[in-house]
Amino acid sequence: MTSAIPNRLPSAAKYTLAQLSNLLPVTALLYDAWRVKSLSLLTGEDFTLEREFALMLEWLNVQPDQNFLDVGTSTGNYARAVAERGAVVTAIDLSKPMLTQAQKLTMQPNITYEQVNIEALPYADSSFDGVVVGASLNEFFDTKQALFEMARVLKPGGKLFMMYLRESDTGFGRFAQTAFKLSGIRFPNRDVVAATLLQSGLERSRAELRRAVTLELFVKTGRTSVTPSDPAERNLSRAAGKPATEPLT
């Protein structure tokens, strides 16, 4: 049974072409056909959704009394996996078609879907025990602001799990990624992501790298260590909009 999805989007915001493509109903309908095979294709190994979920849930150690935020939920895969452990999940996306499809696929009553922009979360500081992000980090308009917002709403001791495609380690790989950047797809540098989160007191706890695929866990310890020479001072953040042209480094 579906219910009304609250629209909590800001009155004005900028989006990448990749984000705008997710507003199309056809994208929502075809999304899971890609998502179920995506990590196997990108890693060159048998990396099923079940394997991805198992790793995420093990690292997060989800408990039934916890509150989680699923950022860029798309069709709700991460939200349902976390909710099956008994946690209460707020699943957000800027795409109404994605959220509608997610709601159709969801049986758990402990998931709430909301239309929200990650760069302006309408939630109080320290609202969530955990935040999960599945690949959406590659599409945000302002990556740095998105990371700050996710850190802000995490409780002390809270955990952030992210799966994303990182910047290539080779010159040829970075050149190949350039074509995707024109569509608004960003490839964050892992060191820059870690240094940016450290400004908000989050430290990297675990990580697995499978080719370009990066799975990372950060914990909000409250300790910060940022100097002007830190890579977080570089321009991590903004895609150039429609289309995106700035490099994400």
Q: What are phi and psi of 171, to 5 degrees?
A: -60, -40
> How many domains is the chain partitioned into structurally?
1
CATH number of the domain that 203 lies in?
Answer: 3.40.50.150
Which amino acid belongs to residue 71?
A: V
Residue 246 lies in a domain: no
Low-confidence stretches of the chain (pLDDT < 50) are 228-234, 237-249
Residue 152 lies in a domain: yes
How would you class 61 by CB atoms within 10 Å of its CB: exposed for 0-12, middle for 13-18, buried for 19 or more?
A: exposed
pLDDT for position 225: 66
Residue 9 lies in a domain: no
**pTM, to two decimals:** 0.89
Judged by phi (left if over 0) then psi (alpha if -120 to 50, else beta), residue 202 lies in beta
Please name the helix (run of DSSP H) or strand (run of DSSP E) that holds residue 175, with its range, or none: helix 171-181
C-alpha to C-alpha distance for 103 and 113, rounded to whole angstroms: 7
**Within 10 Å of residue 186's Cβ, how many Cβ atoms?**
27
Residue 149 lies in a domain: yes
For residues 202 and 196, the answer to whether their CB atoms sit within 8 Å is no
Which residue range(s) make up the domain with 94?
17-233
pLDDT for position 232: 42
C-alpha to C-alpha distance for 29 and 39, rounded to whole angstroms: 19
Residue 243 lies in a domain: no
Nearest to 18 by CA among 249, 248, 194, 234: 248
Residue 2 lies in a domain: no
- Residue 230: DSSP 8-state: S
pLDDT for position 178: 83
Residue 3 lies in a domain: no
pLDDT for position 236: 54
Residue 146 lies in a domain: yes
pLDDT for position 165: 94
pLDDT for position 230: 46
